[in-house]
Chains A and B, each alone.
Chain A
Amino acid sequence: MPGRGRCPDCGSAELVEDSHYSQNQLVCSDCGCVVTEGVLTTTFSDEGNLREVTYSRSTGENEQVSRSQQRGLRRVRDLCRVLQLPPTFEDTAIAYYQQAYQHAGIRTARLQKKEVLVGCCVLITCRQRNWPLTMGTICTLLYADLDVFSGTYMQIVKLLGLDVPSLCLVDLVKTYCSSFKLFEASPSVPAKYVEDKEKMLSRTLQLVELADETWLVTGRHPLPVITAATFLAWQSLRPSDRLSCSLARFCKLANVDLPYPASSRLQELLAVLLQMAEQLAWLQVLKLDKRSVVKHIGDLLQHRHMLVRKAFRDGTAEMDSGEKELQGQGQGQGPEEEDVGSSSLELPAVKRPASPALLLPPCMLKPPKRVCPTPPVSTVTGDEDISDSEIEQYLRTPQEVRDFQKAQAARQAAQSVPNPP
């Protein structure tokens, strides 16, 4: 280096600063002569000024990306690739992970939590961009427990102060339905079970919309509702061949897991459809049940808005009479529901449709499991006298104490000798 002096041996000006085992040396680059040396050891007085600083108290943490953070960021990238997310999602998820890592609570968390945090960041990114990703999917991919996931998720949303929109149901339906393997014939899927994707999607969407209108979706996990809706849509597109197929078999055919609540959602959806069918003249006559209503789902969905309004009432009972919207479809039955009721037509058993059922969530329609009696008004002041006898009832007499001690000792003895000879 110029201006640093010359090598005493060869006179070259090319002196390089180099360290040899942490000892600073000034070396001539031509002949290798060591011009000056730094001090390798420190004296006692020097060391007096030096103090050991733990890594967590130094600034090293902020300057470097720690190994576990690097691992986490790699996991975020991998997860984004596995889910085939667009590249911008990856960057956002990485940013969230880094942001989370700045909080001490996350840095010192267990590895299990850091694993789950990876999933949380990806989920938040997807939710904010309306990409339908369920927590169940992420938990399956991460082999994580939903409880742990939920705790970490709620914590990180609060910590980062994020605004996470709800899961978009329509997108979820489209993605989930597309995953059903029913759109091409295969050895496991006979031809009569194969269905057109677009038709099934549109019908499923209509059924899910119907479920949403009739309080079947609020407060429930969204996926089982969609499973039930897909099943009904598929069945109704070719009822003659498919009525015999059960929900479980359907999911097996389609290579999709059957969520446990799906069967009860199916029953609820069928009940709603039956209520709606009551309002259609030609269906009333047929006296449908849960199986036969499937054949008419197409018609019911076509007029679903009007039928829901007619079939159900909420607190404000709006009975709009004289709605001429409904025309007999190909059945040539012109008369409206009211007329059918009043004029006795073919079947004398046809009675006037029952007064509309209440449009309430199923939890409000079921009778309460146990009647909660209103507690009697207590006149306790908190300062009453406490009688001795009342306290005595909770204490053991000396004899009881002795018996108890004997029993405890005997139990200890029995435990310490599990296999008596």
Chain B
Amino acid sequence: MEEEKTDLELYLDQCSAQDALTTSRSPLLSPAVPYDVDMLTSSNPESAFNPQLEEVTETSGSFSAVDLSFLLDELSQEKKDQTVIRSKHEIEENCKTQKQQTRLPLPSQLDTGLALDSSSGSSSHSHLHPADGNSAQPSPEKPHSLPLASITPMTPIAPISECSGIVPQLQNIVSTVNLACKLDLKKIALHAKNAEYNPKRFAAVIMRIREPRTTALIFSSGKMVCTGAKSEEQSRLAARKYARVVQKLGFPARFLDFTIQNMVGSCDVRFPISLEGLVLTHQQFSSYEPELFPGLIYRMVKPRIVLLIFVSGKVVLTGAKKRSDICEAFENIYPILKGFKKA
């Protein structure tokens, strides 16, 4: 119990630090949270973890908002409601706890990395918040005062956004736009070379253009769906071209409410992944049925993205409305996947 609490405190320190950084709009440490969570969930059963976290929340009144919302909804709510006010000397308290932790080396390194960063004043004031969760927690038995200077120098931690070094490539963008006029699909199919219209099969005209290479579904109500573009700008340009074609055919087409509905990205982590292991530890989010589909379907809660993870290391991310969602999701999953590198 004692050891667990220590780990938990450290984890919470980490989370508070991560949250402080996310509030300051820095992408640092975001994967550290799920990584820690991953470690903890593999060591403690999920059910035991939640009450513990809640219990600690009770004791530490001013506990910082932790970005755990990618884990469980009810948990994240509590964390987000609490705010952070910290002073510099609490960094020392944070450092002292690192001596006792044995199980999570990486977070401690990141903690000290943060502390070092803060001492060098590289980033904003929020760097001074790493030890948040620790301050109000009862720990009288711990030895005090590990001064900042006694932190062992270690390899500088690269910013987490470079940790994976891989940026997912966008493969498909689906967008919709409202042309705001009723259309005569038969006329469009007759006068446009690049249109196909088979009302018995589907109630829309399927139109294609060569540059950017996309396909559009144009409905008689004036709504249009544009698919196949590789970037948001290309999707917008393509949608405008389709609207121009419709305009040239004599309809008073406008260009209203252009919205990106879905973005699909893919990337390769370049190492094999043990899907059986991943589904064991992340059962709540994963669905792996080799009899049905060779990949593992991972439904990330925050951001709300679905990832298809294959044994070859290829990852497909879908369900995003913004490019940042895809990048964030990949940064979240990369440390988890690294944990399952070997069978």
Which A residues are within 8 Å of any B CB, using their own CB? 134-136, 146, 150, 153-154, 157, 163, 166-167, 212-213, 215, 217-222, 314-315, 360-361, 363-364, 374-375, 378, 380-384, 386, 390-396, 400-401, 404-405
Chain A residues with Cβ below 8 Å from B184 are none
A391 & B190 in contact (Cβ 8 Å cutoff): no
**Nearest CB of chain A from residue B244's CB, rounded to whole Å:** 5
A166 & B288 in contact (Cβ 8 Å cutoff): yes
Chain B residues with Cβ below 8 Å from A390 are 211, 241
**Nearest CB of chain A from residue B278's CB, rounded to whole Å:** 10
A-facing residues in B291-313 (Cβ within 8 Å): 291-295, 310-313
A396 & B191 in contact (Cβ 8 Å cutoff): yes
Q: Across the interface, name the chain B residue whose C-beta is closest to A134.
A: B291
* A219 and B295 in contact, given A375-B230, A391-B245 (Cβ under 8 angstroms): yes
Q: In whole angstroms, what is the CA distance A363 to B292 when docked?
A: 18
* A395 and B291 in contact, given A213-B343, A380-B231 (Cβ under 8 angstroms): no
Chain B residues with Cβ below 8 Å from A166 are 276, 279-280, 288
Q: Across the interface, name the chain B residue whose C-beta is closest to A157.
A: B287
Cβ-based interface call for B27 (8 A): no
A219 & B275 in contact (Cβ 8 Å cutoff): yes
Cβ-based interface call for B135 (8 A): no
Chain B residues with Cβ below 8 Å from A378 are 230-231, 233-234
Q: Across the interface, name the chain B residue whose C-beta is closest to A358.
A: B272
Q: In whole angstroms, what is the CA distance A212 to B311 when docked?
A: 13
* A364 and B274 in contact, given A394-B194, A394-B209, A401-B190 (Cβ under 8 angstroms): no
Tell me which of A157, A222, A314 has the highest count of chain B C-beta atoms within 10 A of its own C-beta: A314
Inter-chain CB contacts under 8 Å: number = 115
**Nearest CB of chain A from residue B72's CB, rounded to whole Å:** 13
Tell me which of B193, B235, B283, B313 has the highest count of chain A C-beta atoms within 10 A of its own C-beta: B193
A selection of 18 A-B contacts at a CB cut-off of 8 Å is: A135-B292, A136-B291, A166-B279, A167-B290, A167-B291, A212-B343, A215-B343, A218-B274, A220-B290, A221-B291, A222-B291, A361-B272, A364-B312, A382-B235, A383-B236, A386-B244, A391-B245, A404-B190
B193 & A394 in contact (Cβ 8 Å cutoff): yes
Q: In whole angstroms, what is the CA distance A218 to B309 when docked?
A: 12
Name the 6 nearest CB pairs between A and B, nearest first. Answer: A382-B236, A382-B233, A219-B294, A219-B311, A380-B233, A218-B311
Chain A residues with Cβ below 8 Å from B237 are 380-384, 386
Q: Across the interface, name the chain A residue whose C-beta is closest to B295.
A: A219
B312 & A363 in contact (Cβ 8 Å cutoff): yes
Cβ-based interface call for B196 (8 A): no
B190 & A405 in contact (Cβ 8 Å cutoff): yes
Q: In whole angstroms, what is the CA distance A30 to B220 when docked?
A: 78
Cβ-based interface call for B240 (8 A): yes
**Nearest CB of chain A from residue B7's CB, rounded to whole Å:** 25
B342 & A314 in contact (Cβ 8 Å cutoff): yes
Cβ-based interface call for B182 (8 A): no
Cβ-based interface call for B256 (8 A): no
B236, B245, B287, B294: the one contacting A220 at CB < 8 Å is B294
Q: Across the interface, name the chain A residue whose C-beta is closest to B246.
A: A391
Cβ-based interface call for B319 (8 A): no
B290 & A394 in contact (Cβ 8 Å cutoff): no
**Nearest CB of chain B from residue A381's CB, rounded to whole Å:** 6
Q: Across the interface, name the chain B residue whose C-beta is closest to A377.
A: B231
Q: In whole angstroms, what is the CA distance A375 to B241 when docked?
A: 22
**Nearest CB of chain A from residue B34's CB, rounded to whole Å:** 20
B233 & A381 in contact (Cβ 8 Å cutoff): yes
A215 & B272 in contact (Cβ 8 Å cutoff): yes
Which B residues are within 8 Å of any A CB, using their own CB? 169, 190-194, 209, 211-212, 230-237, 240-241, 244-245, 248-249, 271-272, 274-276, 279-280, 283, 287-295, 310-313, 341-343
Chain B residues with Cβ below 8 Å from A386 are 237, 240-241, 244
A136, A167, A364, A393: the one contacting B313 at CB < 8 Å is A364
A218 & B275 in contact (Cβ 8 Å cutoff): yes
Chain B residues with Cβ below 8 Å from A154 are 287, 292
Q: A363-B310, A392-B248, A394-B192 are in contact. List 10 more A-B contacts (CB 8 A).
A: A135-B292, A215-B311, A218-B272, A220-B290, A375-B169, A380-B233, A382-B234, A391-B245, A395-B245, A404-B190
Q: Across the interface, name the chain B residue whose C-beta is closest to A222.
A: B290
Q: Across the interface, name the chain A residue whose C-beta is closest to B236.
A: A382
* A395 and B249 in contact, given A378-B230, A386-B241, A404-B190 (Cβ under 8 angstroms): yes
B190, B211, B283: the one contacting A163 at CB < 8 Å is B283
Q: In whole angstroms, what is the CA distance A203 to B338 when docked?
A: 33
Q: In whole angstroms, what is the CA distance A199 to B231 when docked?
A: 59
**Nearest CB of chain A from residue B237's CB, rounded to whole Å:** 5
Q: Across the interface, name the chain A residue whose C-beta is closest to B247.
A: A391
Chain B residues with Cβ below 8 Å from A384 are 237
Q: Across the interface, name the chain A residue whose C-beta is closest to B288.
A: A166
**Nearest CB of chain A from residue B62's CB, rounded to whole Å:** 35
**Nearest CB of chain A from residue B298's CB, rounded to whole Å:** 14
**Nearest CB of chain B from residue A118's CB, rounded to whole Å:** 18
Chain A residues with Cβ below 8 Å from B295 are 219
**Nearest CB of chain A from residue B254's CB, rounded to whole Å:** 15
**Nearest CB of chain B from residue A99's CB, rounded to whole Å:** 19
Chain A residues with Cβ below 8 Å from B313 are 364
Q: Across the interface, name the chain A residue whose C-beta is closest to B292.
A: A150
A221 & B290 in contact (Cβ 8 Å cutoff): yes
Chain B residues with Cβ below 8 Å from A215 are 272, 311, 343
Tell me which of A146, A384, A392 has the highest count of chain B C-beta atoms within 10 A of its own C-beta: A384
Q: In whole angstroms, what is the CA distance A236 to B147 when docked?
A: 67
Chain A residues with Cβ below 8 Å from B291 are 134-136, 167, 221-222
Q: In whole angstroms, what is the CA distance A396 to B245 when docked?
A: 11
Q: In whole angstroms, what is the CA distance A221 to B234 when docked?
A: 40
Q: In whole angstroms, what is the CA distance A363 to B190 when docked?
A: 47
* A363 and B311 in contact, given A167-B291, A378-B234, A386-B244 (Cβ under 8 angstroms): yes
Chain B residues with Cβ below 8 Å from A394 are 192-194, 209, 245
Q: In whole angstroms, what is the CA distance A163 to B192 when docked?
A: 52
Q: In whole angstroms, what is the CA distance A163 to B311 when docked?
A: 22
Q: In whole angstroms, what is the CA distance A364 to B311 when docked?
A: 9
A395 & B233 in contact (Cβ 8 Å cutoff): no
Q: In whole angstroms, what is the CA distance A375 to B234 when docked?
A: 13
Q: In whole angstroms, what is the CA distance A163 to B285 when docked?
A: 10
Q: In whole angstroms, what is the CA distance A386 to B248 when docked?
A: 12
**Nearest CB of chain A from residue B127's CB, rounded to whole Å:** 34
* A396 and B192 in contact, given A363-B311, A382-B232 (Cβ under 8 angstroms): yes
**Nearest CB of chain A from residue B222's CB, rounded to whole Å:** 18
Q: In whole angstroms, what is the CA distance A386 to B231 when docked?
A: 18
Q: In whole angstroms, what is the CA distance A383 to B292 when docked?
A: 44
Chain A residues with Cβ below 8 Å from B293 are 150
B234 & A380 in contact (Cβ 8 Å cutoff): yes
Q: In whole angstroms, what is the CA distance A137 to B103 when docked?
A: 45
Q: Across the interface, name the chain B residue whose C-beta is closest to A404.
A: B190
